[in-house]
Chains A and B, each alone.
Chain A
């Protein structure tokens, strides 16, 4: 379908295009940066399953980018069948600003529409030369921190809330938390616009002492960019990052893909889906699969956004809106 529309522009007749067989269906999955490996893997798993079940070939096109940027693209008319973004707040924005899916989308799939979770961890250079053990050390004046800009990056918002939640628990008051997080962000050397950008800055460009990162990103960085060059430091407490998924009703109805889009997301919760999730370093929801891969994931005390912050609908405007907490505490150069 997506292919069909792209080529429907009469302009392209010049080049000609492959005719599409009718026994084929195409989905567009608009996702955030670090899921590329996951969905490349899972798409094959799902395509096999769907072929067996319905005898239909399914092609899944994937678009990756910063979570906020991807939500913006869907709001502006990128016809995603499914949105698999970094946080519920971004899908909320699609529901509220473009009304492409109902406001209660999060209750349509199990676990608040989060088929996999992750945690926020710290990545340091080999040997941990700055002796970084916990969030505490990130506010030390001699430590240079790399994280992305929470205004544009979903991952960075989780990072911010992880540090905030830790401080809130440790010091017991909002003011103290604000002071701590303020100190931490004063140590930020480069504030990239996306989580991927900050990993690149830390790993490839050699800037900073510690990177605040998605757990799966940290694993991937260690695996892809040189074993023995980096170490993962597990903080004493962190936030449970819940990337969420939804089918975009308006678009699937228009494309006639509601059934397959729904199945695509539901199958993420199946044993096969959860295996793919765990293979790509995301934490599975299924207890059996979780048990099987338990060794892979460090044990962390995790708090949730719902418990500590009252969910994204509250946290988003309070912390990351214009003039919100982040704008108040982040004043570089001061």
Chain B
């Protein structure tokens, strides 16, 4: 690296330091434009949430977030997020293993299908479960006869949440495991390790940060889902209202301050997510530089 830079410096054409960046005023203008855009679209809304939430003082705020309906919404939201993280992690690991460790026809179609829920409108995601499990739907009458409850109950809310967060972990792991290749697993295999051992001792340590990163994304989206859950929830106060639905209900009851108070809980969770994401992102970047990548650059 170093000698080449020297070579460049010997060219007398232009001052490279100046030619490799923009004039100071351009930099200032660009930074100002970027920061104004961020401020207008991100900072101001953030401030609005907390300002509206505290509109009627701390006492009102704490009452709003501590009332039983709000607490049960918190619980339901956490449960739904928990299940979607667990299910989608299992799916993410299995699909990434199958896709990156083996060759088979139709691989890119499979990847596209896994991605599909990302672009499907949340409303459609809710609708499909109503069509399937609703009383007028395909399985509705059978479910009713057997006293099983899917939509308007916890399983439906979990299903809709799992659907909208479906690709997040998988899409994080597939490129990562592709990048890392299979050499280490194969070496372990040659040394006599079994499948389970290979997974726990070799693969998982290599992808742990990527997995965690995917989990954070999945969790954030799961806690905030509105459209899909709204279609399948039934809006029973204290039973099937998630936090975002509770926000809507309070908003519809003219209780804007309480709506924003509960919204501020969600915003707080979002900010925590951003912090976690940034921290894990750093570790993740580092881990991607290690074994496989290093080996690759070594060869090169």
Residues of A within 8 A of B (CB): 2-3, 5-9, 11-12, 15, 28, 30, 33, 36, 61-65, 73, 75-79, 97-98, 194, 196-197, 199-200, 203-204, 220-221, 224-225, 254
Bound Cα distance from A65 to B248, whole angstroms: 10
Chain A residues whose C-beta falls within 8 Å of the C-beta of B61 in the assembled complex: none
B281 interfacial by beta-carbon distance below 8 Å: no
Q: Is the pair B149, A5 in contact by a Cβ cutoff of 8 Å?
A: yes
Chain A residues whose C-beta falls within 8 Å of the C-beta of B249 in the assembled complex: 64
Q: Given that A12-B79, A62-B236 are contacting pairs, would A5 and B153 also be in contact in the complex, using a CB cutoff of 8 Å? A: yes
Q: Is the pair B254, A199 in contact by a Cβ cutoff of 8 Å?
A: yes
Q: Given that A3-B239, A61-B238, A62-B236 are contacting pairs, would A224 and B254 also be in contact in the complex, using a CB cutoff of 8 Å? A: yes
Q: Is the pair A77, B144 in contact by a Cβ cutoff of 8 Å?
A: yes
Bound Cα distance from A194 to B249, whole angstroms: 12
Among B128-136, B196-204, B290-298, the stretch that binds chain A is B128-136
Q: Is the pair B253, A36 in contact by a Cβ cutoff of 8 Å?
A: yes
Known: A76-B130, A197-B252; 4 extra A-B contacts, CB below 8 A, are A61-B237, A61-B238, A64-B235, A65-B235
Chain A residues whose C-beta falls within 8 Å of the C-beta of B144 in the assembled complex: 77
Chain A residues whose C-beta falls within 8 Å of the C-beta of B251 in the assembled complex: 200
Q: Is the pair A61, B79 in contact by a Cβ cutoff of 8 Å?
A: no
Q: Is the pair B237, A79 in contact by a Cβ cutoff of 8 Å?
A: no
Bound Cα distance from A94 to B236, whole angstroms: 18
For B234, give its contact among A3, A9, A78, A98 (CB under 8 Å). Answer: A78
Bound Cα distance from A73 to B234, whole angstroms: 6
Chain B residues whose C-beta falls within 8 Å of the C-beta of A2 in the assembled complex: 236, 239
B151 interfacial by beta-carbon distance below 8 Å: yes
B83 interfacial by beta-carbon distance below 8 Å: yes
Closest 9 CB pairs of A and B: A77-B135, A76-B134, A196-B252, A78-B152, A78-B234, A63-B236, A63-B235, A5-B149, A62-B237
Chain A residues whose C-beta falls within 8 Å of the C-beta of B133 in the assembled complex: 77
Chain A residues whose C-beta falls within 8 Å of the C-beta of B152 in the assembled complex: 73, 76-79
Kindly name the residue among B130, B152, B249, B251 whose own CB sees the greatest number of chain A CB atoms within 10 A. Answer: B152
B154 interfacial by beta-carbon distance below 8 Å: yes
Bound Cα distance from A39 to B249, whole angstroms: 15
Q: Is the pair A98, B235 in contact by a Cβ cutoff of 8 Å?
A: no
A interface, over-half SS: helix
Residues of B within 8 A of A (CB): 75, 79, 83, 130, 133-137, 140, 143-144, 147, 149, 151-155, 158, 234-240, 249, 251-254, 256
Q: Is the pair B151, A76 in contact by a Cβ cutoff of 8 Å?
A: yes
Chain A residues whose C-beta falls within 8 Å of the C-beta of B236 in the assembled complex: 2, 28, 61-63, 78
Q: Is the pair A97, B234 in contact by a Cβ cutoff of 8 Å?
A: no
Instruction: Output the nearest chain A residue to B78 by Cβ-Cβ distance.
Output: A15
Chain B residues whose C-beta falls within 8 Å of the C-beta of A36 in the assembled complex: 253
Bound Cα distance from A227 to B10, whole angstroms: 79
Q: Is the pair A15, B79 in contact by a Cβ cutoff of 8 Å?
A: yes
Bound Cα distance from A97 to B135, whole angstroms: 10
Instruction: Output the nearest chain A residue to B134 by Cβ-Cβ distance.
Output: A76
How far in angstroms is the closest Cβ of chain B from A165?
Answer: 28
The contact sample of 17 A-B pairs, CB cut-off 8 A, is A5-B153, A6-B149, A8-B149, A9-B155, A11-B154, A11-B158, A64-B237, A64-B249, A73-B235, A76-B130, A76-B134, A76-B135, A76-B151, A77-B134, A77-B152, A196-B254, A254-B147
Q: Is the pair B136, A98 in contact by a Cβ cutoff of 8 Å?
A: yes
Instruction: Output the nearest chain A residue to B240 by Cβ-Cβ distance.
Output: A6
Q: Is the pair B149, A9 in contact by a Cβ cutoff of 8 Å?
A: yes
Kindly name the residue among B137, B158, B240, B253 whose own CB sees the greatest number of chain A CB atoms within 10 A. Answer: B253
Chain B residues whose C-beta falls within 8 Å of the C-beta of A3 in the assembled complex: 239
Bound Cα distance from A64 to B233, whole angstroms: 12
How far in angstroms is the closest Cβ of chain B from A40?
Answer: 9
Kindly name the residue among A11, A78, A197 whose own CB sees the greatest number of chain B CB atoms within 10 A. Answer: A78
Q: Is the pair A63, B135 in contact by a Cβ cutoff of 8 Å?
A: no
Bound Cα distance from A97 to B144, whole angstroms: 16
How far in angstroms is the closest Cβ of chain B from A170?
Answer: 34
Chain B residues whose C-beta falls within 8 Å of the C-beta of A196 in the assembled complex: 252-254
Bound Cα distance from A200 to B254, whole angstroms: 7
Chain A residues whose C-beta falls within 8 Å of the C-beta of B151 in the assembled complex: 76-77
Chain A residues whose C-beta falls within 8 Å of the C-beta of B154 in the assembled complex: 6-7, 9, 11-12
Instruction: Output the nearest chain B residue to A254 by Cβ-Cβ distance.
Output: B147
Chain A residues whose C-beta falls within 8 Å of the C-beta of B238 in the assembled complex: 61
